[in-house]
Structure 1
């Protein structure tokens, strides 16, 4: 009886879906995969930050010339704040090419031939700062705008602009020792790619710089090979794989006036992580420490005079802890706010200056905080983004620190990414949902709409018969409601059979099912051509809080496969699904999951595109891998069960393997070892390697990669050639 009722619901679902399509224009391959013309979406206005609580900056291009306008929030009056064409620069310099600027767009730094140049718009001054052969990396203005710090030959420097003096703060930089420049594994897994390896931070008073010093000498070396030219070349990389030694790391505080360095009092131990130094009020310094096991994190206050430390906070979890990346230290009184998933969902907690918990600011499994956005200390308000009840959405909320009252400020179902004015009086919302392209909207802090700033929906968007996305849930046998999304072929005939492509990522706390418009029109194009395009997230993908993600501890691959198989079982019950043509694809972690699906569960997945994936966790970096798996010595059974290589003999065919030859994140070694195993077993597969490409295939090989993937899909799921014109 339950099966019959479910079938009726599915059939009604399909009938309703088929009625929404008209007889309009169809997408071409060029539009879907190459961003080809005519474009169905257009660029949104470029908001470049807030000048104050009443004005924001918007960058526009007129007649090929860039202009920054100061826009009045209330009346939309616009004033040209900076006309790039009116700035006198020497020949060959262009303001669009400045590498950094201050928040008010009055000071700029340029790089040319490994030297730095400075522009002050206010003073109508342009001058060269450095003059040597060494490259200055990651220049950063001091808060007062009078100095610029950077690294050079792995030493930390700063330049005094007024006095025209360059000073070197460290002197032991080398091929293995980096001052203010991150070791690879710290950049990738701890500080983040957006830092571009920068590992130094100005104090608010512009008198000191905190920095991390790395010694990579214990870290094993990995060789990347370029095949260019007659003899080729090699690139050496210090890359610690699972179980390998880490770099030694120290926290230094450089005093620019005293011209000395104070080192924080941590043991000289490479089985620890030190990161995320934060300058607080009155230029006091804090830093976070984590053990090698990554199950304990501590926040210390550092005395900048002698390097002694005082413990502020400790957190321990049975699985793993996470860095407090959006920690906020109060400016008007001692205390701080952190975001943690300690109780199973991510919440905000308020502590006093001595580290005593004052209160939990957010409460309940119906609220999950994804980021802390702004703290209005004057009015005791904390703005944060997250979700409430519906994990596929993102909204802006505010909580009152006095009474813990939470108000949701965005109400449209979908994904909201908000940029608040300095004191939270207004916010700009980048909003989209599954069938609506992104728009920029301006709101008052209470959620009252002021106006639409821009919309990416083009004038021809409605002329196209785009298949509509639908969100739903798939219940597992043990009671999890897995979020899912699909695009059904238009005019779907329930008496026919349709192939399915499941697109996934699959990593811990990394959902792919979101109520947001897709970056590319690939899903609509494939559905338009008769393929059911689907995404589904497993129980560890973040929809079920930290408690759900914790299930992945010491057994990567287990719950991913369990839940993706559950999704296939659900698909098999649908009368219009071709169960012999169920494909899966993904990149990076998704490449791992794809290869694991084709080898460990070939009875459920018939085809797959595994892009630059980890094939054995012994081959990936230790910070990421050990966070979830512990070390190979501590968890040998988990590493064995999670390895794609150990299931290769089960593989029945139908896989395309893609990798860049210079991938310095997931080494091509991963795909090579899988290929070697498949060849030894006399298994059939396809592969495509891209010379000199790193992690992800980009230009100039991007178009070839997209065409290769699309052709594979059409050949195997539709038994026909792809029309690319």
Structure 2
């Protein structure tokens, strides 16, 4: 599920901010062709050319990216742009590689990475900018940019996963059959650095919760000088072995999986450092407590010291520790983060090369901010502060003494690029356009790619200088004649933004989309689209393919409304921690506040309001309909968690604590006790091969409703995973949802 949620009780009617941030209007350029469900996910992509895998070559001379084909938006080739001339060209046609079936392990990794497609899906630049490593279908290819030749590397029998080039480009490392290997590019010799992997033992691999919940997709890390590799060794023996049914149209696949249910055993993890010269391993002393997490590992620039983040099982303690590999049993604590709820993880640990200090992100003052800390563990200074959150450090220019980062200082609904001096001082805005900015910097200079979008602009990619000045377009993606979106863009609607006030005085952000050809004298049914979970945010000024269905609903005469309840992201810990130890209570109450506001509007049909969400949003839809049937006439629940004892340790215990210490919280957070409150108007759907939110979550609700004699509708998709991928699946799904809403609300 990988994200989060929010809310609190509201006893009084909420106040609305006087002026919206963006006025409701349609986009003026483009035709007035209605957007059909069949067109939403057909090729070419409606949003136009939207590159992924953006990178700047280490020498800064090329921009490279993956682009889908016009006749198949999910099949990717590798493209380039010459920075000096702006000329773009195909760098490598995926047809030159052998694209075959993926292993089960790689399929699972891609699902957890939310990667979908074929062709070239990832690539890695060599440090000299003359070559690339390209993994494809378990094979590894070495591509010479200089000669334009592709070479299949001889890695041996079996499927190679998690492959990458070493820091100086002399080796290729990969995992095969649960062991770590390196290939010397000069001699072409393959060496197994570990040999005991197999069964419950996995070397250099991230365990399930690390991939799904911690954002750690790897289990090994090269030292900068290529002398050693740090890696994890996990033992899954104690984790419950379950047989999971994946139901396909032509049969049932029984999959054995060690799944760490909430309250049950996790893997036992060890951290070792293996020398490339003799394959000897030294083990880090992680302490007597073995029931812990290891969410992050990172080398210091000198290749002599290794840092790791140690997290307690209850996730209320996070320690940054450092060991010297010459005295690997001695640990030194640099940072200790503590919380009475939970400590959020991030990727912002950056060791400086020219001074004995590092940049660290922390929510210790209630918002995520940046700190400069010495290698003695003492805070030198806080670099950013205020009632707003830093998203991530994007680049550190040590020569100029500046840190570039993205954050929400301007508006919580937008992400901008900023800069602050390492010596402290005023935060300087770099980007300026209203919307969402994601950046990719060059390795050794503050030149960056800006991946930008807004509600009225599909993703654009441009090259910028350190001052924010645009140097060139990589993909302007202007919606004009010939663009896939142009014929529909004249009917495109942008929403109004506003705020409501929660019971505790905190601001709840919302946005409301009014129907095409809106008439203030009419009353319209409303679809409340919700996620509501932690680490997520729906109310933003950004482009999203999920809004295609919103636009379709607007053209069918619906209002679409979204509110980020408490517990969701980017508003600080006070806003998030409300949900600790009970889920689905405060969040539902905040959504009720939104409905109270909707019913105050003269153009809203207050008796015809539905709620729709997927994953945590599916959970929210069930809880809202069951607990507040007088607020919602109907609900669509997609792939919902219904009983948190069925979900994994790291996610569930972060918010609900351990089942043994919070049994009442688990019971109150389950959907099942509220089934009796259901009256009518429910549609549920679920992928029958979902390995994230298991299909059992929905079947338990089906059985409970059937036992109560309650009528409802369900649509289950054979072979579909959690993300409901595939054009045919999505067309059928959205046609079904539109038909349901039309019958229930009109």
| Counterpart Cα distance in 2 of 1:361 and 1:209 | 32
| Counterpart Cα distance in 2 of 1:538 and 1:92 | 44
Match of 1:224 in 2: 244
> Contact between 1:21 and 1:467, CA under 8 Å: does it hold in 2?
no
**Is 1:497 aligned with 2:523?**
yes
> Contact between 1:18 and 1:492, CA under 8 Å: does it hold in 2?
no
**Is 1:28 aligned with 2:22?**
no
Quickly say closer, same or farther: Cα 1:90–1:647, change in 2 above 3 A: closer
| Counterpart Cα distance in 2 of 1:471 and 1:517 | 15
> Contact between 1:45 and 1:58, CA under 8 Å: does it hold in 2?
no
Quickly say closer, same or farther: Cα 1:229–1:522, change in 2 above 3 A: closer
Structure with the larger RCO, 1 or 2 (CA within 8 Å, 6+ apart): 2
Quickly say closer, same or farther: Cα 1:270–1:669, change in 2 above 3 A: farther
Alignment of structure 1 residues 646-725 onto 2, 5 Å? 646-699=673-726, 701-718=729-746
Match of 1:465 in 2: 491
Unaligned runs of 5+ in 2: 1-11, 101-117
SS state of the match for residue 253, structure 1? strand
Of stretches 518-527 and 566-575 in structure 1, the one that deviates more from structure 2 is: 518-527
Alpha-carbon distance, 1:531 to partner: 0.1
Quickly say closer, same or farther: Cα 1:576–1:23, change in 2 above 3 A: farther
SS state of the match for residue 416, structure 1? strand
**Is 1:410 aligned with 2:431?**
yes
Alpha-carbon distance, 1:238 to partner: 0.9
Q: After superposition, what is the alpha-carbon deviation per residue over 1:166-208, rounded to whole angstroms, capped at 9, x for unaligned?
A: 222222212211001122122111244xx3xx31111111121
Alpha-carbon distance, 1:668 to partner: 0.8
Match of 1:240 in 2: 260
| Counterpart Cα distance in 2 of 1:71 and 1:341 | 41
Unaligned runs of 5+ in 1: 719-725
Q: After superposition, what is the alpha-carbon deviation per residue over 1:480-506, rounded to whole angstroms, capped at 9, x for unaligned?
A: 331111210133333322110111111
**Is 1:355 aligned with 2:377?**
yes
Q: 2:182 aligns with which of 140, 158, 182?
A: 158
Q: After superposition, what is the alpha-carbon deviation per residue over 1:360-407, rounded to whole angstroms, capped at 9, x for unaligned?
A: 000111x31011111111111011101115210110000112232210
| Counterpart Cα distance in 2 of 1:633 and 1:476 | 32
Match of 2:222 in 1: 202
Quickly say closer, same or farther: Cα 1:60–1:33, change in 2 above 3 A: closer
| Counterpart Cα distance in 2 of 1:244 and 1:88 | 46
SS state of the match for residue 655, structure 2? helix
Alignment of structure 1 residues 618-633 onto 2, 5 Å? 618-633=645-660
> Contact between 1:148 and 1:159, CA under 8 Å: does it hold in 2?
yes
Quickly say closer, same or farther: Cα 1:251–1:690, change in 2 above 3 A: same
Alpha-carbon distance, 1:478 to partner: 4.1
**Paired positions, count:** 700
Alpha-carbon distance, 1:312 to partner: 1.5
> Contact between 1:512 and 1:536, CA under 8 Å: does it hold in 2?
yes
Match of 1:129 in 2: 154
Q: After superposition, what is the alpha-carbon deviation per residue over 1:664-691, rounded to whole angstroms, capped at 9, x for unaligned?
A: 1111111111111111111111111111
Quickly say closer, same or farther: Cα 1:172–1:467, change in 2 above 3 A: same
| Counterpart Cα distance in 2 of 1:315 and 1:471 | 35
| Counterpart Cα distance in 2 of 1:231 and 1:44 | 37
> Contact between 1:467 and 1:528, CA under 8 Å: does it hold in 2?
no
> Contact between 1:373 and 1:384, CA under 8 Å: does it hold in 2?
yes
Alignment of structure 1 residues 14-413 onto 2, 5 Å? 17=24, 25-30=32-37, 33-35=40-42, 41-44=47-50, 48-52=54-58, 55-59=61-65, 68-72=79-83, 76-78=85-87, 83-84=91-92, 97=120, 100-103=123-126, 104=129, 106-111=131-136, 116=140, 118-120=142-144, 126-132=151-157, 134-192=158-216, 195=217, 198-227=218-247, 232-267=252-287, 269-283=289-303, 284-308=305-329, 309-365=331-387, 367-413=388-434
Of stretches 423-432 and 325-334 in structure 1, the one that deviates more from structure 2 is: 423-432
SS state of the match for residue 398, structure 1? strand
Quickly say closer, same or farther: Cα 1:438–1:99, change in 2 above 3 A: closer
Alpha-carbon distance, 1:72 to partner: 2.7
> Contact between 2:514 and 2:560, CA under 8 Å: does it hold in 1?
yes
Quickly say closer, same or farther: Cα 1:434–1:146, change in 2 above 3 A: same
Larger radius of gyration: 1
Q: RMSD of the TM alignment (CA)?
A: 3.2
| Counterpart Cα distance in 2 of 1:50 and 1:542 | 30
> Contact between 1:584 and 1:605, CA under 8 Å: does it hold in 2?
yes
| Counterpart Cα distance in 1 of 2:201 and 2:551 | 50
| Counterpart Cα distance in 1 of 2:426 and 2:680 | 56
Q: TM-score, normalised by structure 1?
A: 0.89
Q: After superposition, what is the alpha-carbon deviation per residue over 1:11-70, rounded to whole angstroms, capped at 9, x for unaligned?
A: x999x8579889951323136633467x75311456742235753324588999967445
**Is 1:437 aligned with 2:458?**
yes
| Counterpart Cα distance in 1 of 2:58 and 2:399 | 16
Quickly say closer, same or farther: Cα 1:7–1:70, change in 2 above 3 A: closer
| Counterpart Cα distance in 2 of 1:573 and 1:63 | 46
| Counterpart Cα distance in 1 of 2:178 and 2:97 | 30
Of stretches 268-277 and 686-695 in structure 1, the one that deviates more from structure 2 is: 268-277
SS state of the match for residue 676, structure 2? helix
Quickly say closer, same or farther: Cα 1:422–1:411, change in 2 above 3 A: same
Q: After superposition, what is the alpha-carbon deviation per residue over 1:249-274, rounded to whole angstroms, capped at 9, x for unaligned?
A: 00011111022111111236442112
**Is 1:576 aligned with 2:576?**
no
| Counterpart Cα distance in 1 of 2:79 and 2:353 | 31
Match of 1:614 in 2: 641
Alpha-carbon distance, 1:457 to partner: 3.4
> Contact between 2:389 and 2:570, CA under 8 Å: does it hold in 1?
no
